[in-house]
Amino acid sequence: MYPVMTEVASRILESENKLVFIVNLKASKTDVKRAVEELYEVRVEKVTVNVTHKGEKKAYVKLTPDYKAADVAIKLGML
């Protein structure tokens, strides 16, 4: 699992309080939620996944209002 920072991902980060990750194809939504909560010490509200045309699984992780996605992105060195 690793974070993605594209132009679209940065807009989603700021407007919807979501982080975007590329995850293992076999990972479920609960696996992603548990991993993000443990690694980044935040609470996850919702996880949405899709498989890209390149065959990668992309997870959109919405954080609870108590946490800011921008703060996590800064901690990861993405912003």
Sequence ranges of the domains in the chain: 2-76
pLDDT of 21-67, one tens digit each?
999 999 999 999 999 999 999 999 999 999 999 999 999 999 999 99
Question: Rounded to an integer, what distance in angstroms lies between the CA atom of residue 51 and that of residue 56?
Answer: 6
pLDDT of residue 9: 92
pLDDT of residue 79: 78
Neighbours of 16 (CB within 10 A): 12
Model's pTM, two decimal places?
0.91
For the chain, give the percent of residues with pLDDT over 90.
92
Among 4, 66, 79, which Cα is nearest to 37's?
66
pLDDT of residue 36: 95
Could you tell me which residues come within 8 angstroms of residue 77 by beta carbon, excluding any fewer than 6 positions away? none
Topology given in CATH for the domain delimited by 2-76:
Alpha-Beta Plaits (3.30.70)
Q: Residue 68: pLDDT above 90?
A: yes
